[in-house]
Chains A and B, each alone.
Chain A
Amino acid sequence: KNEVEQSPQNLTAQEGEFITINCSYSVGISALHWLQQHPGGGIVSLFMLSSGKKKHGRLIATINIQEKHSSLHITASHPRDSAVYICAVSRETSGSRLTFGEGTQLTVNP
């Protein structure tokens, strides 16, 4: 079983829809990261969370440490949001390296 599980694996939405991507993890963590990977392959950091909620523009990330669960929300989705969204964790017992989920492929249609 993967230590970091994401759902759904694939998500197709219409422009303007509210989107939620979920991440569950099975290990103790010091932080959780949401990353975005565009078709060219580059990875961009969106959020780093250790508790509560963070917001940046139309993106909102939440984490529930007790339930070992995080969500990434996109409000008023746009075709330019189409990308792979990756959840990754810094495990308490593994130094500072990141352990990655499989990613969620999001496609937003106009």
Chain B
Amino acid sequence: EPEVTQTPSHQVTQMGQEVILRCVPISNHLYFYWYRQILGQKVEFLVSFYNNEISEKSEIFDDQFSVERPDGSNFTLKIRSTKLEDSAMYFCASRIQGASTEAFFGQGTRLTVV
């Protein structure tokens, strides 16, 4: 069965460093998302991406965040200068179409900022 793949599964970084979280969505999917879950809290939307551009972003997704689809398969989330409060589980998701289709999630990247 096709799946969304995220790497790395765990990342520890120093405050102020840049991190790139990587995702390979399901190959024929058109809509891509990043969500995050701070420990003990609910999952929160960060950004959606369609047709090679951001289609929607939350207030969390400020200037320190960026997304890219550098080639036909990868979808990346970059955090430019990490803060302690960026420590969370980051999930990539993809959908074949938009709101009327099932969402498929990756296993997540646990980011710890020290």
Contact = CB atoms under 8 A, between A and B. Distances in A.
Chain B binding surface SS class: strand
Contacts, number: 66
Interface stretch (A17-25, A38-46, A70-78): A38-46
B26 to A, nearest CB: 12
Interface residues of A, number: 25
Interface residues of B, number: 27
Contact of B99 (A40, A90, A103): A90
Contact of B48 (A50, A95, A103): A95
Interface in B83-114: 89, 91, 93, 95, 98-108, 110
Given A95-B55, A97-B33, A97-B56, A42 B43 contact: no
A94 interface: yes
A102 B37 CA distance: 11
Given A96-B48, A102-B42, A44 B105 contact: yes
B42 A96 contact: no
Contact of A96 (B91, B98, B110): B98
B31 interface: yes
Interface of A: 30-31, 33, 35, 40-45, 48, 50, 86, 88, 90, 94-103
Please provide the 3 A-B residue pairs with the shortest distance between their CB atoms, ordered closest to farther: A96-B98, A43-B105, A90-B99
